[in-house]
Amino acid sequence: MKEKPMEQLERIRERVEFVFALAGNPNVGKSTIFNRITGMGVMTANYPGMTVELNLAVTEMDGRRIGIVDLPGTYALGAVSEDQLVARRGVLQGKPDVVIVILDANNLARNLYLLLQFLDLGCPVVTALNLVDQAERSGTHTDVELLSEFLGVPVVPTVGIRGDGLDELMHQALALAERREDYPIIPFSYATDIESRIRRLARRIERKMEELPYGLSPRALSILLLEEDEEFLRALDEDPAGAEIVSYARSIAGEIEREHGEKAALILARERHGIAGSIAANVQERGEHARPSAGERLWGYATSFRSGLPMALVVMGLVFLALFWGGGELASLFARFWENVVSGPAGRGLESLLGTGVWARSLIWALDGLGAVLEIALPYLLVFYLILGALEDSGYLNAIAFLTDRVMHHLGLHGRAIIPLISALGCNVPAVMGTRVLSTRRERIIACTLIVLVPCSARVAVIMGGVSRYAGVLPALGLFALLFAVVLAAGILLNKVMSGESTGLVMEMFPFRRPSLANVLKKTWMRLKDFFYIAAPLIVAGSFLLGLLYESGWIVRLTTPLKPLAEGWLGIPAVALLALIFAFLRKELALALLVVLAAQAIPGITESSSLLEFMTRGQIFTFALVCAVYIPCVATFAVLWKEVGTRATLAITGSTVILALLLGGLVHLALVVF
Asked whether the predicted pLDDT for residue 185 surpasses 70, the reply is: no
Q: What percent of the chain clears pLDDT 90, i.e. is strictly above it?
A: 31
Question: Does residue 202 sit within a domain?
Answer: yes
Residues in contact with 53: Cβ distance below 8 Å, sequence separation at least 6, in sequence order: 5, 72, 86
Phi first, then psi: give them for residue 100, nearest 5 degrees.
-95, 105
102-106, 108-112, 414-418, 586-590: lowest mean pLDDT where? 586-590
Q: Looking at the structure, tell me whether residues 119 and 199 fall in a common domain.
A: no
Q: Looking at the structure, tell me whether residues 197 and 325 fall in a common domain.
A: no
pLDDT of residue 119: 93
Q: Looking at the structure, tell me whether residues 175 and 204 fall in a common domain.
A: no
Asked whether the predicted pLDDT for residue 49 surpasses 50, the reply is: no
What is the dihedral angle through the alpha carbons of 222, 224, 229, 230, rounded to the nearest 10 degrees? -50
pLDDT of residue 314: 87
What is the dihedral angle through the alpha carbons of 42, 43, 46, 47, rounded to the nearest 10 degrees? -120
Q: At what angle do helices 617-629 and 590-601 cross, to 10 degrees?
A: 130
Q: Looking at the structure, tell me whether residues 567 and 476 fall in a common domain.
A: yes
- Find the distance separating the first CA and the last CA of the chain, reported in whole Å: 55
Q: Looking at the structure, tell me whether residues 75 and 131 fall in a common domain.
A: yes
Q: Looking at the structure, tell me whether residues 391 and 523 fall in a common domain.
A: yes
Q: Looking at the structure, tell me whether residues 476 and 603 fall in a common domain.
A: yes
- 117 to 58, 59, 581, 638: CA distances (angstroms): 26, 27, 52, 37
pLDDT of residue 289: 52
Phi first, then psi: give them for residue 185, nearest 5 degrees.
-75, 125
**Confidence category of residue 62, pLDDT binned at 50, 70, 90:** confident
In which domain, by residue range, is 268 found?
Answer: 192-286
pLDDT of residue 355: 66
Question: Does residue 186 sit within a domain?
Answer: no
Residues in contact with 673: Cβ distance below 8 Å, sequence separation at least 6, in sequence order: none
pLDDT of residue 4: 59
pLDDT of residue 526: 74
Question: Does residue 508 sit within a domain?
Answer: no
- Residue 69 belongs to domain with CATH number: 3.40.50.300
Q: What is the mean pLDDT of residues 624-647?
A: 88
pLDDT of residue 51: 44
Asked whether the predicted pLDDT for residue 84 surpasses 70, the reply is: yes
Question: Does residue 293 sit within a domain?
Answer: no
142-156, 181-195, 451-465, 468-482: lowest mean pLDDT where? 181-195
**Confidence category of residue 295, pLDDT binned at 50, 70, 90:** low
Residues in contact with 632: Cβ distance below 8 Å, sequence separation at least 6, in sequence order: 428, 452, 456, 458, 459, 587
pLDDT of residue 203: 94
Instruction: Measure the CA–CA gap between 108 and 146, rounded to whole angstroms.
Output: 14
What amino acid occupies position 531?
F
Q: 367: exposed, middle or buried (C-beta count within 10 Å: 0-12, 13-18, 19+)?
A: buried
What is the dihedral angle through the alpha carbons of 460, 428, 634, 358, rounded to the nearest 10 degrees? 50
Q: Looking at the structure, tell me whether residues 396 and 250 fall in a common domain.
A: no
Q: What is the mean pLDDT of residues 67-76?
A: 86
pLDDT of residue 511: 64
Asked whether the predicted pLDDT for residue 53 surpasses 80, the reply is: no
- 49 to 26, 135, 202, 265, 398: CA distances (angstroms): 6, 22, 34, 24, 11
- Cα radius of gyration (the chain): 28
pTM for the whole thing?
Answer: 0.67
Domain boundary among 228, 252, 286: 286
pLDDT of residue 48: 42
Asked whether the predicted pLDDT for residue 255 surpasses 80, the reply is: yes
Asked whether the predicted pLDDT for residue 495 surpasses 60, the reply is: yes
Q: 1: exposed, middle or buried (C-beta count within 10 Å: 0-12, 13-18, 19+)?
A: exposed
Q: What's the structural domain count of the chain?
A: 3
Question: Does residue 594 sit within a domain?
Answer: yes
Q: Where do the DSSP E strands lie in 549-627? A: none
Instruction: Measure the CA–CA gap between 517 and 522, rounded to whole angstroms.
Output: 9
Domain boundary among 179, 207, 233: 179
Summarised one tens digit per residue, pLDDT across range 196-211 is: 999 999 999 999 888 8
Question: Does residue 507 sit within a domain?
Answer: no
Phi first, then psi: give them for residue 71, nearest 5 degrees.
-75, 155
Asked whether the predicted pLDDT for residue 369 surpasses 70, the reply is: no
- Residue 266 belongs to domain with CATH number: 1.10.287
As a whole number, the mean pLDDT across the chain is 82
Give how far the C-alpha of residue 650 lies from the chain's centroid of Cα atoms, to the nearest Å. Answer: 21
What is the dihedral angle through the alpha carbons of 382, 386, 388, 391, rounded to the nearest 10 degrees? -170
Domain boundary among 150, 179, 208: 179
Q: What is the mean pLDDT of residues 245-267?
A: 92
Query: Is the Cβ–Cβ distance between 29 and 131 less than 8 Å?
Result: yes
Write out the DSSP string of 311-373: HHHHHHHHHHHHHHHHHHHHHHHHHHHIIIIIIHHHHHHHHHHHTTSHHHHHHHHHHHHHHHI
Instruction: Measure the CA–CA gap between 416 and 81, rounded to whole angstroms.
Output: 13
Q: Looking at the structure, tell me whether residues 321 and 265 fall in a common domain.
A: no
Question: Does residue 433 sit within a domain?
Answer: yes
Q: Looking at the structure, tell me whether residues 116 and 239 fall in a common domain.
A: no
pLDDT of residue 607: 63
154-158, 335-339, 530-534: lowest mean pLDDT where? 530-534
DSSP H or E run through 445 = helix 441-453
In the structure, how many helices (H) and strands (E) does the chain have? 33, 8
**Confidence category of residue 45, pLDDT binned at 50, 70, 90:** very low
Degrees (nearest 5) of the Cα angle 300, 304, 306? 135
Query: Is the Cβ–Cβ distance between 18 and 66 less than 8 Å?
Result: yes
pLDDT of residue 2: 46
Q: Looking at the structure, tell me whether residues 367 and 485 fall in a common domain.
A: yes
Q: 392: exposed, middle or buried (C-beta count within 10 Å: 0-12, 13-18, 19+)?
A: buried
- Residue among 247, 271, 126 nearest 191 (CA): 271
Q: Looking at the structure, tell me whether residues 272 and 338 fall in a common domain.
A: no
**Confidence category of residue 85, pLDDT binned at 50, 70, 90:** confident
Query: Is the Cβ–Cβ distance between 19 and 12 less than 8 Å?
Result: yes
Question: Does residue 441 sit within a domain?
Answer: yes
